[in-house]
Amino acid sequence: MAVALGVFWWPPETFWRATPRELAAALQPATAAQAREPATSGDLVRLMRAFPDSAAVIPGRAEGPNPEPTTG
């Protein structure tokens, strides 16, 4: 009940009308995420290389495709 009302923000009417199967289906993604192992620093590096924000945040890359222009 606390998850349905507090996390899912279901109004009380929705909670009380939901079947046990519907409540279990709503809870399934949350319980599946908790069952996984936590991410490691290696996972973070792989994600940073696969989806770079800029070259400056990727270890091992000196310059990115669009370095900042210099003035002077």
* Residue 5 neighbours by CB under 8 Å, 6+ apart: 12, 15
What does each of the 72 residues of the chain score in pLDDT, given as a tens digit? Answer: 888 878 888 899 999 999 999 988 888 876 655 666 788 899 899 999 998 887 555 566 555 555 555 555
Provide the pLDDT for residue 17: 92
Q: Whole-angstrom Cα distance, residue 54 to residue 61?
A: 10
pLDDT of residue 55: 59
Q: What is the pLDDT of residue 68?
A: 54
Residue with tokens 């370095």: 67
Q: Considering the entire predicted model, what is its pTM?
A: 0.38
Give the model's pLDDT for residue 31: 60
